[in-house]
Structure 1
Amino acid sequence: MYKLKKCALCGEETNLELSHIVPKMVIRMLKKTAAGNIRNSENPNIPAQDSEKHYMLCGNCEDLFSEKEKYFANTLFHPYIKKKKIKFDYDSKLFYFLTSLSWRSLYLDLIDFTENHVVGIDALECLISCEKIMKDYLLNNRNNIETIEHHLFFFDEIREIRGNTEMAELRPHVTFHRGITSYTFCFEDDGTYGTITNMMGIVLITLYKKGSREKWEGTEVLNGIGSIEAKDQKIISVVGNEFINILKTAQVASNSISEKQMGKIVENLKNKVDKIKVYPVFRDWQSDRKLNKK
């Protein structure tokens, strides 16, 4: 857990609050709809009580973000998760929220990238520049984020996977619909850099630099009034590798669960066998089984 000395956004030296990287409402929904304990990939043998958070924002900046988080929750997150809507009209508050979400991950990842020389100098300079642009926008010092793009991909039910049997075996429905993650990636050979955030199947990909072979259809959220629909979305991108990475990380974590913990999980499911069908994960189990049979 990072504990910064001054607010990451405004730079004020004051008491900092514990800020969730992925909004608290997402982990709250995950816990509310879980058939048992939730677990994270870093330590799957200990039930998780919360998602990643750090001391990084002052109270005023946390409040600056909270209104936009509420807008996202009411306009898109809850209606989609509860399967009430697939088309969403939005205004500039959604763009602001998405910027704040990716900015948090980018800011913290840049600390690691800089200290440990994770990426090359060109990628690092690009990310540093984008972080400053996003910060100025979030502080209302500018009204755009230049060429940075926000894309929302809705990980709906997959009926068929062509040319990649590996993905079908990695339980994509369970992993994405019952998962939370956020991190920055760089494909330096292709020139594509971004941040990917999974919120129970609502996947935000913020692209800081886009390679020439990238194709995104029906996914971009514009800075203003618009609409986005959870269907007919098409992506041709190196970001697909990050989807596989998320799935493989989840599989490694699952394989690392001890016999003792696995016994507890099985016993819990046995106790809920009569009502297991009401839990969302049951539908995901079925969807993953169908994929494996094809």
Structure 2
Amino acid sequence: MTQGICRLCKKSQDLKLSHFIPKFVGKWVKDTSATGYIRFNQSIDKRAQDIVKEYWLCECCEQLFSSWEHEFARKVFYPFMDKGESRARYDVWLSKFCASLTWRTLTYVRSLHVEKSDDVSRSLDAAENTLAGYLLGESTVLGKYEQHLFPLESIAETNVRGAPPNLNRYFLRTMQMDLLESESGSIIYTKLPGFLLLGLTGHKESNSMRSSRVTMGEGMLSPRSYRWPTGLAEYMFEKSRQITATYSSMSQAQKDKITKTILDNPDRFRSSRTYEAFKHDLDMFGNKAFSKKDEV
């Protein structure tokens, strides 16, 4: 622990190391990978045992987040990702979990000193304050700061030109945090394996995205027709291409290390979710799926 100001409640407290993407997600990715390790785009030649964390929250706020994470993991994430389920009933814990994840992405990405215009910075300040008030129980509504959750399944075909040949691997394996800007408004982007969460800040297309909006109380996650904001598909395609480019830049020594790990434990490789996601890409794109190494 270290002494500091909790980023959520703003009190001077002993701070705990907090994960931005929930710890259980990183553990699942590692446990279901072909090698038992995680690699990040920023340091592709290093194997990691854990995902990004910082001294961010006090014990009390960390426990708040943990309770909502537990509900999401038990009732949504593991049933969808490990059992192939596609429906889940939820209560207010889902809006709390989504808001907490959006808040973490927003505060973490902003801490990297990504430059934004004054108008955008003020808009993000308002979003951060509203999310914090909701998480701390100071408010029971989020107003225009809607949370939109999209379950992502493997896909077998697409008529969209330019779809990258690692698209299923991006949908099913990738973790990512980002802040997106367009003429329609800001989007706080959090990508989990099998799920995409968009935190809106008064986005102009929100009225046409009601099927993905997480309600403030009881609701149901289920297969339905979802609509993404304009330009989001191409953004995800580009991120998929960047992953391919990053892995192609990996040193030969690290590529050899991956190959040796797989050869030493072929059963793990064949039963891994990495291999399963790759097979979906192989079925969809043929030999193009072999073009570069992806997450292992």
Amino acid at match of 2:199: T
- Say yes or no: does 1:227 pair with 2:223: no
- Structure 2 residue corresponding to 1:168, chosen from 135, 156, 164: 164
* Partner SS, residue 45 of structure 1: strand
Pick from 97, 118, 122 the counterpart of residue 121 of structure 1: 118
Deviates more, 1:203-212 or 1:5-14: 203-212
Distance in structure 2 (CA, Å) of the matches to 1:81 and 1:4: 37
Query: 1:214, 1:157 → 2: CA distance?
Result: 27
Distance 1:148 1:271, change over 3 A: same
Distance 1:270 1:290, change over 3 A: same
Aligned to 1:263: 256
Is 1:8 aligned to 2:7, yes or no? Answer: yes
- Give me the whole-angstrom Cα distance separating, in 2, the residues matched to 1:213 and 1:92: 20
Corresponding residue number in structure 2 for 1:130: 127
Contact (CA 8 Å) 2:3, 2:13: kept in 1 or not? no
Q: Name the counterpart of 2:26.
A: 27
SS in 1 for 2:201: strand
- Alignment correspondent of 1:57: 57
- Contact between 2:164 and 2:237, CA under 8 Å: does it hold in 1? no
Question: What CA distance in whole angstroms lies between the structure 1 residues aligned with 2:234 and 2:119?
Answer: 21
Please give the alpha-carbon distance, in whole angstroms, between the structure 2 residues aligned to 1:147 and 1:20: 26
| Cα separation, 2, equivalents of 1:250 and 1:152 | 23
Hey, what's the Cα distance between the residues in 1 that align with 2:44 and 2:252? Answer: 12
Correspondences of 1:136-155 after superposition (within 5 Å): 136-155=133-152
TM-score (norm 2): 0.89
Q: For residue 136 of structure 1, give the secondary structure of its aligned residue in structure 2.
A: helix
CA contact (8 A) 2:154 2:172 kept: no
Aligned counterparts of 2:111 and 2:29: Cα–Cα separation in 1: 29
Task: Provide closer, same or farther for how the CA distance between residues 109 and 143 of structure 1 changes in structure 2, counting only shifts above 3 A.
Answer: same
The secondary structure found in structure 2 opposite 1:15 is strand
How far is 1:12 from its partner?
A: 1.1
Q: Which runs of 5+ in 2 are unaligned?
A: 289-296
- Tell me the residue number matched to 1:101: 101
Residues 99, 135 of structure 2: 8 Å contact kept: yes
Counterpart-to-counterpart distance in 1, 2:63 and 2:50: 20
SS in structure 2 of the partner of residue 209 of structure 1: coil
Matched position secondary structure for 1:156? coil
Q: TM-score, normalised by structure 1?
A: 0.90
Deviation, structure 1 residue 237: 2.4
Deviations, residues 201-228 of structure 1 (Å, cap 9, x unaligned): 2111111131349843632211110001
| Structure 2 letter corresponding to 1:266 | T
Query: Is contact 1:196–1:206 with CA below 8 Å preserved after alignment?
Result: yes
What secondary structure does 1:248 align onto?
helix
Post-superposition offset of 1:41: 0.7
Question: For 1:14-59, what per-residue CA distance to the aligned partner results, in whole angstroms no more than 9, with x for missing partners?
Answer: 2111100010000111111111032111111110111111111111
> Distance in 2 between the 1:135 and 1:220 partners?
19
Matched, 1:179 2:178: no
> What do the CA deviations read for 1:254-275 (whole angstroms, capped 9, x no partner)?
1121101101111222233355
Q: 1:29 to 1:230 in 2, by over 3 A?
A: farther
Conserved? CA contact 2:154–2:171, under 8 Å: no
Which secondary structure state, in structure 1, belongs to the residue aligned with residue 105 of structure 2? helix
SS at match of 1:51: coil
The separation in 1 between residues aligned to 2:134 and 2:268, in whole angstroms, is: 47
CA contact (8 A) 1:20 1:53 kept: yes
On the 8 A contact 1:151/1:206 being kept in 2, the answer is: yes
Distance 1:112 1:258, change over 3 A: closer
- Aligned-partner Cα distance in 2 for 1:144–1:45: 44
CA separation of 1:27 and 1:280: change in aligned 2, threshold 3 A: same
Counterpart residue number, 2:293: none
State the shift of 1:84 in Å: 3.9
Give the aligned partner of residue 193 of structure 2.
Answer: 200
Alignment coverage as a number of residue pairs: 285
Instruction: Give the whole-Å Cα distance in 1 for the aligned partners of 2:244 and 2:222.
Output: 30
2:45 maps to what in 1?
A: 45
Q: Deviations over 1:41-89 (max 9, x none)?
A: 1111110111111111111111111111101111101111103410111
The whole-number CA distance in structure 1 between the counterparts of 2:142 and 2:282 is 42
Q: Following the alignment from structure 1 to structure 2, what is the Cα–Cα distance between the partners of residues 109 and 212?
A: 23
